[in-house]
Chain A
């Protein structure tokens, strides 16, 4: 059974204070690992797809990395507008996405 565990559940950062979110996973035949951002009252918004260990992707202040057992979402010099819940999901075979419970990030000015 595919499983995703995200940590920490909540993270509070000062503006400019870099940190990382963790996503540990078990999946049979990884097709892709996905990062989403979700703002309150909105649907998840796609950020990144990672396909194989060693892969990295960047977008503005965000950088996602992947190993065989976990993925990290690094946030460099965050701003208050980066405050959101960040969701990690995996897809194995032809099955739908399996999500973690998310990390709620607050960035304080």
Chain B
């Protein structure tokens, strides 16, 4: 049982390049989300999805695109990388909230540097 798997673990991009950060989970979770973590800023939500075919914006969505074609996968696309997108990116998954909240499981992160 792998949990949440993110690839790549490290990436260096040049300004203007595009790339896709991959996220896959094998827990059959409906809820998936992408966060970025910057020093002193905590975890900030980029985009999230409550199921296949459904996505929504979070707090910092500009410059990023997502799609959810399957339950398992939730890729994050950087359209034209900028130095301000240098960060550590985390993907998380969980069951949909029922009568109570449900804990999210996180991947190990992708450390992205844009030069």
Q: Which residues of A line the B interface, CB within 8 A?
A: 31-34, 36, 41-46, 49, 51, 87, 89, 91, 93-94, 96-102
Contact = CB atoms under 8 A, between A and B. Distances in A.
B50 interface: yes
Contact of B97 (A42, A91, A101): A91
B74 interface: no
Interface of B: 4, 31, 33, 35, 40-45, 48, 50, 58, 90, 92, 96-97, 100-109
A1 B115 CA distance: 34
Given A43-B107, A43-B109, A49 B42 contact: no
Contacts of B108: 42-43
A32 B102 contact: yes
A101 B45 CA distance: 13
A46 B109 contact: no
Given A43-B107, A46-B105, A32 B100 contact: yes
Contact of A44 (B48, B100, B102, B106): B106
Given A43-B108, A89-B43, 5 more contacts: A43-B4, A44-B106, A46-B104, A96-B33, A97-B104
A100 B97 contact: no
Contact of A99 (B42, B102, B109): B42
A32 B107 CA distance: 21
A94 B96 contact: yes
Contact of A43 (B40, B42, B48, B106): B106
B100 A51 contact: yes
Nearest to B34: A96
Give the most central of B48, B101, B106: most A CB within 10 Å. B101
Contacts of B103: 32, 34, 46, 49
A96 B44 CA distance: 11
Contacts of A32: 97, 100-103
